[in-house]
Every structure is written in C-alpha cells, then in structure tokens.
Amino acid sequence: MATASPTIPSEQSPLSTLRELLPLVGLTGGIGSGKTAVSDLLGQMGAGIIDTDLIAHQITAPGGIAIPLIQAKFGPEFIEPNGALDRAKMRTLVFGSPDARESLEEITHPLIRQETLKQAKELADTGVPYLVFVVPLLIESGSWAGQVDYLVVVDCPEETQIQRVMQRSKLSRTEVEGILNAQASRQQRLRLANAVIENQGSLAELKLAVEQLHQKILGIKKA
Ligand code: ATP
C-alpha cells in the first residue's frame, strides 16, 4: 500500500478527498481535437467542468494573479499594454528555450493547480454527478493520469486538427505542425484512454457520442 510521500504536493490531497465523493474524469486530446466542444456538451448534460486551459488564460489575463510574477521573471516586454501576458512573444520564447518554459511553468503550474482545486470543490458542492478536468497536456504532465478515475481522449486525424486550428487562429500550417510535434502523439494518448471520442464527423455525430459517454460515466460506481 502506498504511504504518504513528502514529494506529493499538499495541494493534491483535496483532489483525493473529492475522488471519494464523486467520479473524477480527465479529458484530453491534441490541439484542435475538440476538447472544448466535448466539455461544453458534457457541461450541458450536467457535468461539472474545470477547464485548466481557461484557468491558465485567466491567470495571465489583465489583472491575473500570474502577471506580476511573470513580469518580475521575464521583464515588462512580455506584458502587453493592457496588462495581459504577450502570448505570442512568450510562445516563441518557450518553444526555443526549455529553461524559459520551466521558469514559466514554475510560476503558472502552482497557480493553475490552486484554482483548479478551488473550482472542483465549488462544483462538487453544487451536487454535480461527476467532475471533468479538461487538461490539454494531461498525458505529457505525468501527474494527472493517476488522479482521475476515467480518462477520455478526444481524437481526430492530424490533418483535421491542422485545418481546424488554422481556421480558428492566425497560426500558419508550420506553426500548428510545430505545436503538434511538441505534444504527445495520438498513439501515446490512445494507449492510456478509458474512452475515445472520435471527432472527425459532424457536430451532431459528436453530440451522440458524448451522450453515450455521459451515460457511461454516470454508471461509474464509487467504492
Ligand atoms: P485547443 O486545443 O486549441 O484548445 P480544442 O481541442 O479545445 O482546441 P475545440 O476548440 O473544441 O478544440 O475545436 C477546435 C475548432 O474546431 C473549434 O473552432 C470548433 O468549433 C471546431 N470543431 C470541433 N469539433 C468539430 C466538428 N466535429 N465539426 C466541425 N467543427 C468542429
């Protein structure tokens, strides 16, 4: 049996407490695969959604709690005049520098974790049947997979991902391919999945698949 380890961050223990009360679902997938589309649908069906990407944006938006720390570490040139993180500039920096990425994550990860737990507790208190944690880099992060009861992967061909992201953003094909190559491969994600949502058809087809997923998760019994 595992014993308490000093290497486990204390912020994680409330998640294991929540896990005793209701199913915890991890939702991941590559860029543009359709994580938000799936989590929006699950939310409409009654699930409690915690979107860690949204939280990451909120803490780096104007007035966000990470902004003063990022400014102190990287300099004022990484902060836009409106007080938000200059995402394009930071993206360029961290893609070229693992050290810079690590420094940024040392600032943002604890704040994201803190806010994630806060939202999870608040949602659990509202009586939702289960919680869904949307974590784009769940597979890459290592620490998440062991903390959820059920892992859902949203999947589609890479070409579909590229087309969707190019359509939605100002990123070029090369930039999107760069992001894809930096993420876990489809195979790595699919290996760990308890359920896979294929999202290469219409939004109507996606809704049907998500309805089935919702029913399956409602069937998860807590000990
Ligand atoms: P990211 O990793 O960039 O946050 P994501 O995985 O959350 O992306 P979404 O934002 O849900 O993906 O979807 C990416 C884009 O593709 C959005 O514009 C969304 O409306 C569109 N999209 C998602 N699924 C479908 C679908 N089945 N049919 C058509 N468009 C879709």
What integer pLDDT is reported at residue 14 of this predicted model? 67
Using a 6 Å cutoff on CB, does residue 36 contact ligand 1?
Answer: yes
Confirm or reject: Cβ of 189 under 6 Å from ligand 1.
Answer: no
Show me where the domains of the chain are located: 11-47+130-223, 55-127
Q: What is the CATH number of domain 11-47+130-223?
A: 3.40.50.300
Average pLDDT on 74-85 reads: 97
Cα of 191 to ligand 1 centre, how many Å?
Answer: 22
Q: How confident is the model at residue 13 (pLDDT cuts 50, 70, 90)?
A: low
Give distance in angstroms: CA of 77 to centre of ligand 1: 31
Whose Cα sits closest to atom 20 in ligand 1? 37
| Cβ of 60 less than 6 Å from ligand 1 | no
Confidence of residue 16 (pLDDT cuts 50, 70, 90): confident
Find the angle CA(179)-CA(180)-CA(185) to the nearest 5 degrees. 140
Q: Which atom of ligand 1 is nearest to the CA of 206?
A: 27
Q: Which long-range contacts (CB under 8 A, 24 or more apart) does 193-197 make?
A: 193/151, 193/152, 193/153, 194/150, 194/151, 194/152, 195/150, 195/151, 195/152, 195/153, 196/152, 196/153, 196/154, 196/155, 197/29, 197/34, 197/38, 197/152, 197/153, 197/154, 197/155
What's the pLDDT score for residue 95? 84
Task: Give the pLDDT band of residue 140 (cuts 50, 70, 90).
Answer: confident
Query: 111 C-alpha to center of ligand 1: Å?
Result: 26
Is the model's pLDDT at 8 over the cut of 60?
A: no
What is the Å distance from ligand 1's center to 73 Cα? 33
Mean pLDDT of 158-183: 93
Question: Does the beta carbon of 35 lie inside 6 Å of ligand 1?
Answer: yes
Query: Which of 140-144, 174-178, 181-185 shows the lowest mean pLDDT across its residues?
Result: 140-144
